[in-house]
Amino acid sequence: MLTPLFSSKLLIVLLFGTLFGLILGVLPGLGPTTGGALILPFTMTLDPLSAIVLLTSIYCAGTYGGAITAVLINTPGTPAAAATCLDGYPLAQKGEAGRALGMATVSSTVGGIFSVIILVFFAPLLAKLAYEFGQPEYFALAIFGLTMLSSIGEGSPIKNLIAGAFGILISTIGKDFMTSIDRFTYGINELSVGIGFIPVVVGLFAISEMLTQSTLLDQVFKRVALKAVKLPTKDDYKKTWKTILRSSGIGSFIGVLPAEGGTVASLIGYSEAKRFSKNPEEFGKGSIEGIAGAEAANNAATGGAMVPTLALGIPGSATTAVILTGLIIHGVRPGPDLFREQPDFLYGIFGAMLIANVLFFIFGFFGAKIFARITLVPNKILWPMIFAVSVCGTYSLSQSIIDVWIMLFFGVLGFFMRRFGFSVVPVIIGLILGELVEGTLRQSLVIFDGNWLMFLTRPIALTFFILSLIALAFPLLRSKKQKK
């Protein structure tokens, strides 16, 4: 599994990706998704394996990096670290920041490695199953992905569905792939090739975040002092090993579902840790189990989310949507054929994720103090620089200024979407899946002579549609249960 990585170039990429991911993780507002989007244009200069190794190492390390700020300044560096704040910061306030970060580091590493093992075993199995899929099955699967995202993603399910449909609508801009008829181009030549992924991704994540940061300038962070990260004691391990394993399982499972992986996983991991704990009253006051539960789960979601991304081409989280974009722009089509034709490529990714988990353990353990200092870089200096990189990166892809306008447009749109409770992640996933949804629908109709009912005669497609209905009904049932 590690053989493809035995090249100095890939190891440097991996090292850089892990360090960069950690830096992104500790900076509130950035994180692996925005950071991945920012670095995406630069990956064009790399070969496909190096590019994806870079993105996946950013993903793994960035997810862990969020815990450092969650513990030290009570602000999650990434949304997935929100649950870590609940116990990490109170423990740090008691003068045990080193212990809290030690537990976060160990449980993140265990969760991450556990999920890579799941990825290695389950992704090929899922890919094998996908050999049975025809056009109708892929259509049903894409619909299932979108409904899952809306039902267990953040925010209102209906708003998520609107955002997903909007993402698919964006993918229809340009020449129709079956008939070459222009759609929504309004005579603008640049639009006839469609809207690229990168301007939308950078706009929705980086530029909209810049606008969000412009509203948060009065925020003051109180940083807890950190002497050194301490390895958990024997007593801590005794208390938490079951929690870490349980959360690793939960995180991997949630990650596999096409949704906002780490964030949901850490919340469930945390609440399950509380439910099974002998001392649930300690949760929220600095419980070491709480940190272990949240951190193991969010890092376990990384490998889990890569399962559908690689096996089916359906992203399992926002960051895997960026990784999927990276695969597509490098001409790699995820799915069962990838497993048959390019096993070395895949094992390179699996190995990189494994090593990234070990690397962030080392960097986190010895360098958390330095990474924590990065949070001191003021936004008034950081964000103009991020803007310059975003603009040049977006321009670099097709050397088109129109792409920069599109990026700015989606940045402003993304800000208002977030402000009014619409998640931007479904837009990206809709945009990525748009061609698949429309293409498989239209090709299915061609194959089955325009018979819409044929979807119901295909068992796998029917199963996905039923699962989609369940996914749509789930939030309704949940809110009814909460009311009771």
Partner 1 sequence: MNNVRKQKRANKSLPFFFKDEFKVSFIIVFISIILLISTFSFDIVPPILNRGIQPATFPKALLILIISLTLIIYYLSIKNPWKIGKKLPKTFFLTLLSFLIFVIISKTLDFFLAISVLSIFVSYNWGERRIFYLLLVSIIFPILVFIFFETILGLRFPPGIITNLYYY
Q: Enumerate residues 382-411 that contact partner 1 by CB under 8 A.
A: 383-385, 387-389, 391-392, 395-396, 399, 401, 404-405, 408, 411
**DSSP secondary-structure letter at 216?**
-
Chain-centroid distance, C-alpha 287: 27
CB 309 within 8 A of CB 104: no
Least distance in angstroms from the C-beta of 295 to partner 1: 27
Chain-centroid distance, C-alpha 371: 22
Per-residue x/- track, 34-73, partner 1 (CB under 8 A): --------x--x----------------------------
Least distance in angstroms from the C-beta of 77 to partner 1: 20
380 binds partner 1 (CB under 8 A): yes
Amino acid found at 128: K
117 binds partner 1 (CB under 8 A): no
Write phi, then psi, for 175 (nearest 5 degrees).
-75, 135
> Which CB sits closer to partner 1, 136 or 364?
136
**Distance, CA of 442 to CA of 241 (rounded, Å):** 50
Per CB under 8 A, the list member of 438, 455, 458, 468 interacting with partner 1 is 438
**Location of structure tokens 């200024």:** 401
DSSP 226-288: -----PPPHHHHHHHHHHHHHHHHHHHHHHHSSS-HHHHHHHHHHHHHHHH-S-GGGTTS--H
12 binds partner 1 (CB under 8 A): no
Q: Which stretch binds partner 1 (CB under 8 A): 64-72, 161-169, 310-318, 458-466?
A: 161-169
In terms of residues, how long is the chain?
A: 484
Q: State the virtual CA torsion across 118, 32, 437, 330 in degrees, nearest 10.
A: -90
Per CB under 8 A, the list member of 278, 378, 480, 481 interacting with partner 1 is 378
Q: Which stretch binds partner 1 (CB under 8 A): 140-148, 227-235, 266-274, 378-386?
A: 378-386
Q: Which stretch binds partner 1 (CB under 8 A): 21-29, 102-110, 182-190, 469-477?
A: 182-190
Angle between helix axes 157-171 and 425-447 (nearest 10 degrees) is 60
Amino acid found at 231: L
> Which CB sits closer to partner 1, 279 or 451?
451
> Which CB sits closer to partner 1, 261 or 430?
430
Nearest to 441 by CA among 73, 106, 146: 146
Please tell me whether residue 17 adopts helix, strand or coil conformation: helix
**Distance, CA of 56 to CA of 41 (rounded, Å):** 15
Q: How many residues bind partner 1 (CB under 8 A)?
A: 57
473 binds partner 1 (CB under 8 A): no
16 binds partner 1 (CB under 8 A): no
Residues near partner 1 (CB under 8 A): 42, 45, 156, 158-159, 161-162, 165-166, 168-169, 172, 176, 178-179, 181-184, 186, 210-211, 214-215, 217-218, 378-381, 383-385, 387-389, 391-392, 395-396, 399, 401, 404-405, 408, 411-412, 419-421, 438, 441-443, 445-446, 450
